[in-house]
Structure 1
Amino acid sequence: MDSKIEQNNKLMEESDSTEMVEESKLPFPRATITNLIRDNISSGKQIKGSVKDEMNLWVDGLIKKIVGKMNSQPYTFVNYQMLCDSVAPYEDLQEINKQREELLKKIESIREECDSVVNSINADSKAKALSLKLEGDKLPLPKATITNKIRTYLGNDKTIKGPVKRGLNVWLGRMIKRVSNKMDSYPYPYIDRSMFKEAIEPYEAVSEIELEKERIIQQMESMKISCDLLKMEIERKFKL
């Protein structure tokens, strides 16, 4: 901090060694700005000439920013509320440290929620997989047919373990049962193609659902990265 003050003092001295701005080019009378500064600093302190002029120009810059903010409103007038809205961010700086902590806390909460969503999706899928028991004394479909179908879609470079052949056979039997039960639930004396299509519709959407879950996870991970970047920017910028 001391080195920063010393550096600023050197810059001020260098600035004071140059000619001061002509008063005619200043937006406000130099005496007015000087008196306002004196009213708010300790008695006996010398005000460097450069400070007076820099403050003068800085105040003009503030007016430009405030008016620009009001002018950005889509109205044919500017009113008192617009003025308050425009100057409010400058007043907020008095509580910037508190705002920083609150923002960081809320962003961290969002990040934790993203983690929760990802963990929930993964946990549900794993829990279901672990709870499945694809076993049965009787195989509903021809064993050789299932094995050949697996080989057709799997490729020749992988070994098919025995429990896979049996498990898929049992599971397919269960799927046929579910679809059949769904078709049987309709109050008609027949089973037609529309009933079959409606019965299998939820299962046809499984691939899309899985892709959507992956997309959600990717979005959550992206949001977590965004949260981390936001936290870094807040830590860097929200300082008084």
Structure 2
Amino acid sequence: MAAIEASGLCLDFPFYHLGARSLKKRLLGGARLHTDPSNRVVVTALRNLDFRIVTGERVALVGPNGAGKTTLLRTLAGVYEPVVGRLLVEGQIGALIDVAAGMDPESTGRENVTLRGLYRGLPDAQCAELVEEVAAFAGLGDFFDVPIRTYSAGMGVRLAFALATAMQPQVLLMDEWFLAGDAAFMAKAEERLARLVGGADILVIATHDFSVVRRWCTRAIRMEGGVIIADGPAEEILAGMGV
């Protein structure tokens, strides 16, 4: 069974090359800024998070820009490592967070898809099937065989979406920007995305779109300043936000 559990979870980001004392003094006036044991100025991105998510839950991370929603998603995905606390994620993870994550810009679309399949432990035959499925859905034509550093932003989203949704995860982590592709592509992608969401044991999505929360989520975690200020049924949390 899939599960996510965090206890006392904290994440700091250091500022480097802040040699001027006056600058340090000004920065340290903020509530989320402090010095670590190495005397570096650090910003606390996540502070003392405690929550448990179990199979069957559909959880929205809501709150203003800078609240820590995407940072928490990336921490759950293993991109960032907590400095304090405990984090346990059980189940195969699928992350629709960063279009460039895990992609080699010097490799072609085809090569990137093949590498992802091999990384996931797929045998050669299944890798070949994955490549053909992603190529067909992304609709990149000849660009599928050129380095992805030449792609436009929209082409990068198409490739990332097609690849990320080609393999069903147990734990689906999603940032809302994956819902913001061009209209023609997203109309094509809607059924595929709904199938991916429905097939996941756990969904965690960071979003400002309350219609998405109401359509997909049973629970919401409200964040501000890197802390959780409310956690409960989605409709109750949205009502508390006045929406």
Is the TM value for this pair above 0.5? no
TM-score, length basis structure 1? 0.20
**Bigger-Rg structure (1/2):** 1
Task: State the structure with bigger RCO (CA 8 A, min sep 6), 1 or 2.
Answer: 2
Higher strand share: 2
TM-score, length basis structure 2? 0.20
Higher helix share: 1
